Amino acid sequence: MKITGVELRRVQMPLVAPFRTSFKEELHRDILLVRVVTPEAEGWGECVTMESPLYSEEYTDGAAEVMRRFLIPALTARPGLDANRVAPTLAKFKGHPMAKAALEMAVLDAELRAAGVSFGRYLGAVRDEVRCGVSVGIMNSVGELLDAVAGYLDEGYLRIKLKIQPGWDIAPVRAVRERFGDDVPLQVDANAAYALTDARTLARLDEFDLELIEQPLAAGDLYQHAALAKQVRTPICLDESIKSAEDAALALAIGACSIVNIKPGRVGGYLEARRIHDLCQANGIAVWCGGMLETGLGRAANVALAALPGFTLPGDTSASRRYYAADITEPFVLRDGTLAVPREPGLGVSPLADRLAEVTSDTEWVRADAA
């Protein structure tokens, strides 16, 4: 198909509660959505960048700029574009996986809506619903944390992930285990807040029988993660370190992790995400779907991905209300700890026009150059 133009839309989404990680406390999200228009159909993409380059190098204003100046013109110049050609077409522009992923998602959505095929069916989903976990931020006190975890367990989440950082690690994990018992699947995510010299602290987590420790060290510390894996019994899972299937292959080859968090934005799109799934499945490595506080659009695509056979661990694919009082799509609602995989063509969900209008702060139309 041929792209007519792309709309860049900014939406302002207040969070239901502050969400604190080792790098930042968020109260609100300023999200960049893309709408790809073709003669056959329209497609939506969601860019998962944060406002500041704290999770990775990318940030939302930078993503909008690289899209309007470089990525969109490269895509609109191609008459025979399809989703599989997006990444190769954009490959000459270095980096910017989240910006590229948003555009690929939108092109794939348009293509699948036109073809009458759902994301799940296209990607290879084998389940109608996916098992869900929840990511719980750093809190001001252990008491506050226990209340939050109690609430999520009551809602039915099937596993709890605690955000940790130096000084907020052993005590909160111990408190959650003591209060909720050994049967709750529990894991931690450091968002790169430790160094290899903290190995003895991290080894103290072994006694709590965690599913995994996610990204304890810096993104570039692949070798150090392999060294750490020999000093702790808890499985190491990588998030920030894995930016492509190649990265995943290297990480597995050197023993830097034994579980992978797959986030399509971080790896440049759903197609690369599926390649990482395939690689891990072939190597007997468990994967799960991460989250970036997506709206219902990104959530729909994540849930479809998480329905692939190798996604054997519950993901950070939480219900809409975990983050937003009012989503921009029909909300995703937790049922018996699961979310339903959309069945309709493309993402299977669309923005609610009134809701979208309410939260939109800016729109910009990037027209294809006249051929």
Nearest approach, Cβ of residue 185 and ligand NPQ (Å): 16
Nearest approach, Cβ of residue 18 and ligand NPQ (Å): 10
**Which string of x and - marks every residue 82-111 that binds Mg ion (by CB under 5 A)?**
------------------------------
Q: Which of 2, 24, 100, 263 is catalytic?
A: 263
Q: Rg of the chain over CA atoms, in angstroms?
A: 20
Q: Which residue is nearest to ligand NPQ (CB)?
A: 135
d(C-alpha 212, C-alpha 208), whole Å: 11
Residue 332 binding target from ligand NPQ, Mg ion, none, CB below 5 to 8 Å by type: none
Residue 152 binding target from Mg ion, ligand NPQ, none, CB below 5 to 8 Å by type: none
- The residue (of 239 and 272) whose beta carbon lies closer to Mg ion is 239
Of the candidate residues 58, 111, 211, 239, the single one contacting Mg ion (CB under 5 A):
239
User: Which amino acid type is present at position 42?
Assistant: E
226 exposed, middle or buried (CB, 10 Å; 0-12, 13-18, 19+)? middle
Looking at residue 317, the DSSP 8-state letter turns out to be -
Nearest approach, Cβ of residue 292 and ligand NPQ (Å): 4
Q: Does 189 bind Mg ion (CB under 5 A)?
A: yes
Catalytic (active site) residue 163: yes
Catalytic (active site) residue 263: yes
Say if CB 149 and CB 334 are below 8 A apart: no
User: Which amino acid type is present at position 295?
Assistant: T
Nearest approach, Cβ of residue 291 and ligand NPQ (Å): 4
Residues that bind Mg ion (rule: CB under 5 A) add up to a total of 3
Residue 209's contacts (CB-CB under 8 Å, 6 or more residues apart) are 177, 182, 186
Tokens at residue 3, please? Answer: 């792209």
User: Which positions touch ligand NPQ (CB under 6 A)?
Assistant: 19, 21, 26, 29, 50, 55, 135, 189, 191, 239, 290-293, 316
Q: Where are the beta strands (DSSP E) in the chain?
A: 5-20, 25-37, 42-47, 129-131, 134-136, 160-163, 186-189, 213-214, 236-238, 259-262, 286-289, 338-340, 360-367
Residues making contact with Mg ion (CB under 5 A):
189, 214, 239
Residues known to be catalytic: 163, 263
